[in-house]
Every structure is written in C-alpha cells, then in structure tokens.
Amino acid sequence: MFGVTFSVFFIIVQIYILKKEMRNSTILCMKKNLLLLICLFLFILSFLLGFFIKKITDDKKFELMYRQHSNLQEINKNLIKEKEFLTNLNNKILNQDNLIDIKENECLEKSISTVDSLNCLYNAEKLWNIEITKYLKLLKNEMSYSEYKLIEKNHNMWIEQNKKNNEMIDKFIFNHGGTMYQQIGLDKKVELKKQRTEFLKKYIIFIQII
C-alpha cells in the first residue's frame, strides 16, 4: 500500500517538473517521459501483483475450507455407518434375548397353577445362565488375557453381589409364605440374570465395532 502511494506521489511530481522544463530541452523531456512511463508501469505492476496475491490467498482459504468440509462429511458418514452397524448388531442380540422372554411368557400363559409358573421361571433362569456363560466365552475369545481378567474379576464380584441379592429376596419375599410370593421372588432373580446378560452383551457389541 505504501509503494502504491509513493508511486502516485512520484508521478505527480514528475508531471509537474516535466511541464516546467519541457521547453528547456527536448532530450530532457524525453527522459522525463520515459521515467514517467516506468513509474506508471511499476504502479500497474504493483497493483496487479497485489491483486494476484490476494486471489491466491483467497483460493487457498477456500480450498482449506472445502477440505475441512469434505473431511467433516466423511466423518459424519462413518459415524452414521457405525451407528447403523451398532443398531443392527444390538437388534440381532436383543432378538436372541427376546426368545427367552417369549418362551417364558408363553409358558406362563399356559400355566394353570403357581407351581407351573414357578417351573417356567426356573427354566427361564437356566436359560439366562446359559446366555451369561456364552457371552463370557465370547469375551474370552475376543479379548486379550489382561482384558479378560478384568471382566472375570468384575463377574466374580457380581456373583458375590448376586448371592447377597438372592438372600435378601429369599428373606423378604420368597420365604414370606405361599407360592405366590415364591413366584414374585423368583421373577426378581430371573430379572437380575437378564440384566447381567445385557451388561456382558454390551461389551461384545463394543469389541466387534472397534
């Protein structure tokens, strides 16, 4: 900007000098005209150079913004794919778990006594135990030794806590008297096994995604 201002000022001064000394010498006049043309050329060159520099800078900024936008779109696409994969996998495992609930409900609907209902719940509890064992084996196969040791430690803690929960259920519900209370208490125990299965299932989903 300073160079352009200086060039304009210099041109004005040269024009003034040129007019004043034009009559003194034809050669001098030609030199002044040549100098004036050079100044004009430099002025135009500086203007064009500034214009092209600005254009190049703007193009680079636009290119950078476009790349950032493209990267963001790609990230969003990957997130959508991962979400769809997670949903499909989760639905697949949920459908497997729902089979136990379906069998339990069908069995309860056919029951004609609380004893029959208790047998339905006992069978459901056995099926959830099988599912827990299955997911533990899957985790053992998918995880490293150190990773699975953490799962194993967590599961052992859950077993101890589940025993305490069952003791409380037996004391306050199951042994309260009557098969109806036994059915309520056993249903609570089945629900605890189902929750544990869902907990382990989430680790399987996470491992298969990463």
For 49, residues 6+ apart whose C-beta sits below 8 A from its C-beta are none
Q: Is 42 helix (H, G, I), strand (E, B) or coil?
A: helix
pLDDT of 16 above 80: no
Domain assignment present for 87:
no
Domain assignment present for 95:
no
CA-to-CA dists, residue 103 to 3, 91, 120, 127, 210, angstroms:
88, 18, 9, 10, 33
**One domain, residues 129 and 52:** no
- Read off the pLDDT of residues 29-63 as tens digits, 9 standing for 90 and up: 556 566 666 766 676 767 667 766 777 776 666 66
- How many Cβ atoms are within 10 Å of 104's Cβ, its own excluded? 21
Q: Is 144 helix (H, G, I), strand (E, B) or coil?
A: coil
**One domain, residues 139 and 46:** no
Q: Determine if residue 178 is left, alpha or beta; phi over 0 gives left, psi from -120 to 50 gives alpha, anything else beta.
A: left
- How many Cβ atoms are within 10 Å of 84's Cβ, its own excluded? 10
- Read off the pLDDT of residues 80-112 as tens digits, 9 standing for 90 and up: 666 665 566 556 555 555 789 989 999 999 988
Q: Tokens in use for 183?
A: 């059915």
More confident: 121 or 93: 121
**One domain, residues 76 and 115:** no
Domain assignment present for 42:
yes
Domain assignment present for 101:
no
Domain assignment present for 105:
no
Q: Are 114 and 182 in contact (CB under 8 A)?
A: yes
pLDDT of 190 above 80: yes
**One domain, residues 205 and 119:** yes
**How many Å apart are CA 183 and CA 107, to the nearest integer?**
14
Average pLDDT over residues 66-70: 63
State the residue range of the domain holding 51: 1-82
**How many Å apart are CA 87 and CA 82, to the nearest integer?**
8
**How many Å apart are CA 137 and CA 141, to the nearest integer?**
6
- Read off the pLDDT of residues 153-181 as tens digits, 9 standing for 90 and up: 999 999 999 999 999 999 888 887 788 88
Taking the model in full, what pTM does it have? Answer: 0.57
- Read off the pLDDT of residues 130-160 as tens digits, 9 standing for 90 and up: 999 999 999 999 889 999 999 999 999 999 9
